[in-house]
A and B are shown apart, each in its own frame.
Chain A
Amino acid sequence: MPTIKFAPIKIVTRSSFCFIAFIIFALSSTSLVVSANIGGTIETPKTVSTTSPTVKSSEQTAPSKHWKNIENSGRNQDVFFHAWGGDPQINSYIKWVAEQVKAKYNINLQQVKLSDTSEAVSRVLAEKSANNDNQGSVDLVWINGANFAAMAEHSLLLKNWANELPNFTLTDPINNPAVTLDFGVPTQGMESPWGQASLSFYYDELATTNPPKTLNELLVWSKKNPGRFSYPKPPDFLGMSFLKYALVVLHQQSDAITQVQDKSQTQAQLYLPTTPENIEIILEPLWAFLEVLHPQLWRKGEHFMQSGVEMRRLVDDTELSVAFTFSAPEVPAAVQRYDLPNSIRSYAMQDGSLSNTHFVAIPYNASHQQSAQLVANFLLSPQAQAYKQKANVWGDRSVLIHSALSDAEQALFKAQQPHPSALPVDSIKATLSEPHPSWVSAITDGWQARYGVTR
């Protein structure tokens, strides 16, 4: 027998055996403890019945011939759903959707997990530049705001399909502009609403009993509790949302004081596209505010977290005491998953909550357009929307209007006893509309130039 030359590896195997034995031991002992302690309380999303009799009603409303065609040609295909993949709960939900559409239409829905939606945008743009006009790799994309505006501007999206979806009528589009306007930009049937979100805050009861209820209080509070608050680094969606919230509130305040004499300074400018002239003036109050706030932030504002989920983790670590989210039900869900402590409480800011709708869109060159529409329609179904709204599933607010639903469908949405950490019902007193998408890049650029590099 020849001797083995890569001798160290042999030892790797031996020590690794011990290591695995250790892990198996740890896991098995845990499983014993768990089965003794918690028993059957762990609820897996899979157990939910999917054959609800109420589902039919929405689809019984005489599907058009157009839709019949789509249903026929869209079956038995793959759909590549490009969606932000940083939250395991959302990924689980998409997995559930995949199982449903597989059973319903034999569609293979595959989530392409993005760390930033812009990755999908650049992919489609690259395909268009390469003249790939019907073999696109993105079939469906989870999108809103600046990314939607960018795709719409470059004509990268399929038009006039969302308003043809049978389930779209359940959103009552005539009386509910939130489903046809994306950050003030008309969707023109290019995207189908999926969920709604408002910026709400949460805090650790054991760390602070008196969380800030307005933007001004936040400044005072963070001076008293230095290092216990921060926001994700723009262009992160959540960090950007906080900056927009601050910007809108700051302009509301200054407008109230000056009684709107100078038109160029007003809040109204925020809802129009940026111009080279007004960027400086409109964003000035925000930078002034951040100059004061930053020294009081986590890590003195020299380092920012990468994402909202990381912020949540820092609250769990007790490094932060106050944080915010765009999806309030995510908070009790995280507590139930042990990702946040039991002492978390949710609330909404008294000076207003930034609100928006998020959508799914189909690129113009998608390989499986019909299948993607079938999926989008399923995402809009009462069954999928109600399941999504459950706190232990995802907890994302439904876009369907209750009055448009049958009684049986409405019953799907009945929530159980709210969790103590959940956002109390009706706590959102005032909503703030999202500024025009063009402000996002203006804020990002300004922020990057001022705080992107620590000096």
Chain B
Amino acid sequence: MSLENNTQVVFNNKQVDDKQVNNKQVSKSAVATDWFTVMVKHSPKFLLLLLVVPVFGGLIGVILPALGWAPVLNQYHIGLQAFSELWDTTGLGQMVALSVATGLISTFIAFVITLMILAAFFNSVWLARIQQILSPILVIPHAAAAIAVGFLIAPSGMISRLISPWLSGWEFAPHGIFPHDNYGLSIILGLTLKELPFLLLMALGALAQPELGKKLRQQHKVALNLGYCPMTAFFKVILPSLYPLLRLPLLAVLAYASSSVEMPLILGPNTPPTLAVAIMHWFNDVDLNLRLKASAGALLQLAVTGGILVLWLLAEKMVRVLFCEMLTNGKREYGGAFWQKITSVITTLVVLFITLSLVGLVLWSVAGFWRFPAILPDSLTLLHWQSAIMQMGTPLFNTISIGLITTLIAITLTLFCLEAEQIKGKKVSPFISLIIYMPLMVPSIAFLFGLVLIQQLIPQFIAVKTVYISYINVVIAHILFVLPYVFLSLSSSYRQLDKRFAIVAASLGAKPSKVFFKVKLPQLLTPILIAFALGLAISFGQYLPTLLAGGGRISTITTEAVTLANGASRRTSAVYALMQMLLPLIGFILAWVLPKFIYKSANR
């Protein structure tokens, strides 16, 4: 804004001042009855309700059956029967160990690689390039990523095709252990590849904050001038300030990795599977009494995930105590050149790995006969796309409509909450922001089952078609996971919006609703569209919430992809996995292109 405008505002304000004195009484009562302000003011409460009721209701719906109280199953005997049954399960120890190991190790590796990339390429053009290459992975749903990774590492996968038969001598696919290896290595690989871009982008997002980023970059330069090796400078100067901003994303990743279902289902072993997968199987078993065991298992999962989070926080404390001295010991060099090379190699490998798996996926989706060890298919065909698209109608409609409804609700609520924040003049309480991120921290398998158990009681009282109820349930479940991301993505832009625009508009007599719709929203178009695309991407990727809340009746591209991943030809799975990737990408492209068109036409 120019100085001229500012003075005008002041001038205007002065003019209006005496009028306002007269109108003060009137306007106050007018504001209080304004429907918009009332709605906005109550929106945080509504948001709270929308998040708390399903999660806590779900948890109660798990705790009661776990303790033996399940009216649906005619079980009223309170006791620890379900837990002792759970204890007696063969291989329970292995299941828990697998969940803990895959969750911890994958997060740790992803975290370490993120730090190495940041340290090695901080303030270099390569950082932006790596970011460009890795960021599309962020919007690829877990199931699609798992399918792609599975194709790559299978004994007949791309890697072994590339070295056969000239190097390995394999005429037939070798005996391998991937995917589905007993040690969970495939799961770790898949999760790491998926989490790495997320953590990297979160770190870069934090560094992109103008004040913090500038400060850190300057400190880094000072350290370099003092003779610190770039990597050492990163670890000693940047990391201590950066880590607190990474903690929340890290914990969310950890919670997800230890309790997710898609990756272990597609890449993991089945003798036995991870705890989360086993719980899902128990829940879906013919023997309904297994649901009590499943509920007990869900509580165990909760404890396992909680334990891992605590473990991580403890490790954090230990690292702080152990390495605190090192920060100030003045040592400049820890073999930086060597580590820099290692980082380059790892980064290249990761990028190569991702590229290869994507190429493999595209090839499989159009492959005719493609016998091992040929690197390329014998012939290409669109048959798989044709037959898949013919069957895709309903799932595609469900995916898109649920995504749109969910994201619309999430964005509206988020905007209202942020507006409420500005009306009240203070940020939402830490309690509410904690609640917003809660669905990301509580293992979804723990509360979603409870949600289903509770929902089963509902259809008897409401005379609505059960399909619609399932549909609404899915939307509610999706909102739980879409809201945090939308909030995360929108809040900073909203909070940084220049308040003076609103003040000017208000002083010119615009009602709060007009200020909101006519002044604030148009300026926020780009961030809103991007948040919309993000929300859509999150909603498109949901597997467990769709499956459970919908009772298996609402099929989306993601549920189809997971069902088909273990039970169909590679070619069909490839088509579905690509569809899963294309949908969110289209959303992001629209978010990128639309504002340009809109602004252009507005300028004319």
Contacts and interface: CB of A to CB of B under 8 A. Distances in A.
B324 interface: no
A161 to B, nearest CB: 23
A319 B370 CA distance: 14
Interface in A101-119: 110, 112-116, 118-119
Contacts of A302: 182, 271
Contacts of B181: 303
Contacts of A85: 563
B288 A20 contact: no
Interface stretch (A192-200, A243-251, A356-364, A445-453): A445-453
Given A137-B553, A452-B271, A453-B90, A86 B383 contact: no
Given A31-B382, A303-B182, A453-B271, A227 B175 contact: yes
Nearest to B463: A135
B124 interface: no
Given A114-B552, A313-B570, A317-B156, A12 B135 contact: yes
Contacts of A126: 72, 288, 456
Interface in A79-128: 80, 85-88, 91-92, 95, 110, 112-116, 118-119, 121-123, 125-126
Interface in B392-425: 394
A19 B493 CA distance: 28
Contacts of A303: 177, 180-182, 269-271
Contacts of A16: 136, 139, 584-585, 588-589
B139 A2 contact: no
Contacts of B208: 5, 7-8
Given A135-B459, A303-B180, A338-B369, A6 B135 contact: no
Contact of B385 (A27, A33, A448): A27
Interface stretch (B228-236, B327-335, B525-533): B525-533
Contacts of B566: 306-307, 310
B284 A122 contact: yes
A86 B288 contact: no
B569 A7 contact: no
Contacts of A129: 72-74, 288
Interface in A130-163: 130-132, 135, 137, 147, 150
B379 A453 contact: no
A306 B567 contact: yes
Contacts of A265: none
Nearest to B95: A453
Interface in B58-115: 72-74, 90-91, 94
A44 interface: yes
Nearest to B138: A12
A233 interface: yes
B585 A309 contact: no
20 contacts: A6-B488, A6-B530, A8-B205, A9-B135, A9-B489, A9-B588, A12-B139, A13-B588, A16-B588, A34-B380, A38-B381, A88-B387, A88-B568, A115-B567, A122-B285, A298-B175, A313-B568, A318-B156, A318-B172, A338-B370
Interface of A: 1-17, 19-20, 22-23, 26-27, 30-31, 33-34, 37-38, 42, 44, 46, 78, 80, 85-88, 91-92, 95, 110, 112-116, 118-119, 121-123, 125-126, 129-132, 135, 137, 147, 150, 207, 226-227, 233, 298-299, 302-304, 306-307, 309-310, 312-313, 316-319, 321, 334, 337-339, 341-342, 448-449, 451-454
Listed from nearest, the 10 A-B pairs whose CB atoms lie closest are A86-B567, A453-B91, A317-B156, A5-B492, A13-B592, A118-B286, A16-B585, A8-B201, A13-B588, A339-B569
